[in-house]
Amino acid sequence: MTRTQQPALTLFAVGMIGLGILALIYGDFALVWQPVAPWFPGRTFLAYASGVIMLLCGLGLLFRRTASWSIRILFPYLIVWALLKVPALVVAPQMEAVWLGFGELVVLLAGGWTLFARLSGMPERSPLAFATGEKGVRIARYLFAISLIPIGLSHIMYVKETAALVPAWLPYRVGWAYLTGAGQIACGLGVLLSILPRMAAFTEAGC
Task: Record the pTM.
Answer: 0.87
Q: What is the pLDDT of residue 156?
A: 92
Q: What is the pLDDT of residue 38?
A: 60
| Residue numbers in the chain where pLDDT is lower than 50 | 2, 32
Buried b (16+ CB within 10 A) or exposed e, 66-98: ebbebbbebbebbbebbebbeebeeeeeeebeb
Q: Are 113 and 146 in contact (CB under 8 A)?
A: no
CA separation (Å) from 140 to 4, 57, 108, 131? 19, 19, 10, 9
Q: What is the pLDDT of residue 30?
A: 60
Q: What is the pLDDT of residue 79?
A: 93
Q: What is the pLDDT of residue 132?
A: 92
Cα dihedral sign, 58-63-67-73: negative
Q: What is the pLDDT of residue 34?
A: 59
Q: Within 13 Å and on the Cβ side, how many CA atoms surround 90?
A: 5
Please calculate the CA angle 23-80-41 and round it to the nearest 5 degrees: 60
Q: What is the pLDDT of residue 174?
A: 92
Q: What is the pLDDT of residue 32?
A: 47
